[in-house]
Amino acid sequence: MSGARVLEADVGVVGAGPAGLAAAAALAAGGLRVVVLDEGQRAGGQIFRQLPEGLQPQRAPAEPPSHHRGHGLLVAAQAQRERIDHRTLATVWNAQPGRLWFEQGGASWLLRCQRIVLAPGAYDRCVPFPGWTLPGVVTAGALQVMVRGFGVVPGRRALVAGSGPLLLPTVAALLTAGVEVVAALEASPRARFWRALPAVLGSGAKLREAFWYARRLVAAGVRLRWGWTVFEVRGEGAVQQAVIGRVDAEGRPRRDTAQTVAVDVVGTGFGLLPAIELGQLLGCQTAYQVVRGGHALVVDRTQATSVPGVFAAGEICGIGGAEVAIAEGELAAARILQELRQQPLSEALVLRAARERRVADALLSAFAPLPGLVGLPDDDTIVCRCEDVPLRVARTAAALHGSALRGIKVGCRAGMGPCQGRICGPSLQGVATGDGTRIADLPIAQVPAKPVCSATIVDAPVG
């Protein structure tokens, strides 16, 4: 350990994704000193992910239209480098109003700031099924990180299955890496998508993005099959086969349609979950919104949370995608500049952020979680992979201790391992009770919000 250190800034921003970058660039352009903390190696967040410094792709990946926006954000933030102190590999593990504690370079740091902008993004939503813990089964988001963030080619023949807009970039990333995608399965029924379409037609950005991905899939001969999902993955120590089939409109597997495909990698993503734990530690109000991925921070029309001095933007306020994240990041910055620099807040920014949210909500309504997917795992399927808890044991725990998340955890240790329930938590109550319509309880946030060295906590500077 190299000792504890303290930083001062006008604003501390958690996350260098589209929301955090947009906020930081606007705050700095308005004359404020900003510290951006991100646990990643480079700026960009999930969607505008860059390869680590010094690595070059063997062939330049084709990029969807939204990524030009990402380059613009990176340039805008870079242009303000005198006012933006961007700290990479900096993990924020605790927060109080005006205080962010983080670990960087083996040292324990405290950032003192007048305002906080939370923009930590989201997590993949996992749904357990037989074989989902085999090496080679990877979440859709993690596949993106492997391919686009580290240049890793994860296999030769892939299956992509799940639900939501992230499936298309996942297929595209695999194709770019030279992986054959043998099937792309969207669990939602196509009719849901048609119902959501009229609202999306108003968004030029979303349409351009959808056409860009659709062209790539068509060119590679990959057809998106609506109302299909993965039932099981088989293999000796690694993925060798996947059993796929149709689901009904509620997501219940139709076992009579099962067929087998030979694959060596399976990407699954059943949507995303807002990463709210830092907001919870700060005491921010949350609300459950099914189309936005579940529990999310509540913000007012200018991105202010319920805690004075704390703002939030992007996926933490509910899943919405990059356009929403950018609009909300800029709006949060404008509100802070109004408070600290008495700059007028443009109503146009408020309206733009609200419009982007409306379009995202409409699109994501086509991919709201299907309750019948809780029927995918069998008795022996591991539902908590940290603690190796099979479904049978989780069911017994729910029967004995009640169906609350806390009761199931106490009864079988599910959710008590290193991931602290981020992977199993959202589906645990549904699969353990067999009731997929059940709203998952709000998880309890604990310090440290992210894994850090115990010395970081012991040496933490006192606020």
Ligand X SMILES: Cc1cc2nc3c(=O)[nH]c(=O)nc-3n(C[C@H](O)[C@H](O)[C@H](O)COP(=O)(O)OP(=O)(O)OC[C@H]3O[C@@H](n4cnc5c(N)ncnc54)[C@H](O)[C@@H]3O)c2cc1C
* Binding-site ranges for ligand X (CB under 6 A): 14-20, 37-40, 45-47, 90-92, 119-124, 141, 144-145, 166, 169, 272, 275, 314-315, 321-322, 325, 449-450
Helices (DSSP H) in 235-346: which residue ranges? 277-282, 322-341
Number of C-alpha atoms within 13 angstroms, CB side, residue 397? 24
Helix (H, G, I), strand (E, B) or coil at 159: strand
Q: Which is nearer to ligand X, 140 or 247 (CB)?
A: 140
Q: Give, as one character, the DSSP assignment of residue 281.
A: H
Helix (H, G, I), strand (E, B) or coil at 104: strand
**In angstroms, what is the minimal distance from the CB of 144 to ligand X?**
4
Q: What distance in Å separates the CA atoms of residue 38 and residue 91, rounded to the nearest whole number? A: 6
**In angstroms, what is the minimal distance from the CB of 325 to ligand X?**
4
Q: Which is nearer to ligand X, 50 or 343 (CB)?
A: 50
Q: Which is nearer to ligand X, 16 or 25 (CB)?
A: 16
Q: What distance in Å separates the CA atoms of residue 215 and residue 210, rounded to the nearest whole number? A: 9
Helix (H, G, I), strand (E, B) or coil at 334: helix
Q: Which is nearer to ligand X, 35 or 398 (CB)?
A: 35
**In angstroms, what is the minimal distance from the CB of 70 to ligand X?**
9
Q: Which is nearer to ligand X, 144 or 403 (CB)?
A: 144
**In angstroms, what is the minimal distance from the CB of 91 to ligand X?**
5
**In angstroms, what is the minimal distance from the CB of 278 to ligand X?**
6
**In angstroms, what is the minimal distance from the CB of 423 to ligand X?**
12
**Number of neighbouring beta carbons within 10 Å of residue 162:** 27
**In angstroms, what is the minimal distance from the CB of 204 to ligand X?**
16
Q: Which is nearer to ligand X, 432 or 440 (CB)?
A: 440
Q: Which residue has the tokens 């725990």?
A: 397
Q: Which is nearer to ligand X, 167 or 187 (CB)?
A: 167
Helix (H) or strand (E) holding 174: helix 167-176
Q: What distance in Å separates the CA atoms of residue 206 and residue 295, rounded to the nearest whole number? A: 25
Phi, psi of 260 (to 5 degrees): -110, 140
Tokens representing 136 are: 């080679």
Q: Which is nearer to ligand X, 220 or 399 (CB)?
A: 220
Q: Write the single-letter amino acid at 233.
A: V
Cα dihedral value 286, 122, 397, 234, nearest 10: 160
Q: What distance in Å separates the CA atoms of residue 343 and residue 31, rounded to the nearest whole number? A: 11
**In angstroms, what is the minimal distance from the CB of 411 to ligand X?**
30
Q: Which is nearer to ligand X, 22 or 32 (CB)?
A: 22
Q: What distance in Å separates the CA atoms of residue 463 and residue 451, rounded to the nearest whole number? A: 21
**In angstroms, what is the minimal distance from the CB of 460 to ligand X?**
15
**In angstroms, what is the minimal distance from the CB of 451 to ligand X?**
10
Q: Which is nearer to ligand X, 10 or 38 (CB)?
A: 38
**In angstroms, what is the minimal distance from the CB of 443 to ligand X?**
15
Q: Judge whether 119 and 316 are in contact, CB under 8 Å.
A: yes
Q: Which is nearer to ligand X, 37 or 398 (CB)?
A: 37
195 to 11, 223, 316: CA distances (angstroms): 42, 21, 26
Q: What distance in Å separates the CA atoms of residue 393 and residue 267, rounded to the nearest whole number? A: 27
Cβ within 8 Å of residue 70, ≥6 positions away: 18, 44, 47, 48, 322
Helix (H) or strand (E) holding 21: helix 18-29
DSSP 349-372: HHHHHHHHHHHHHHHHGGGPPPGG
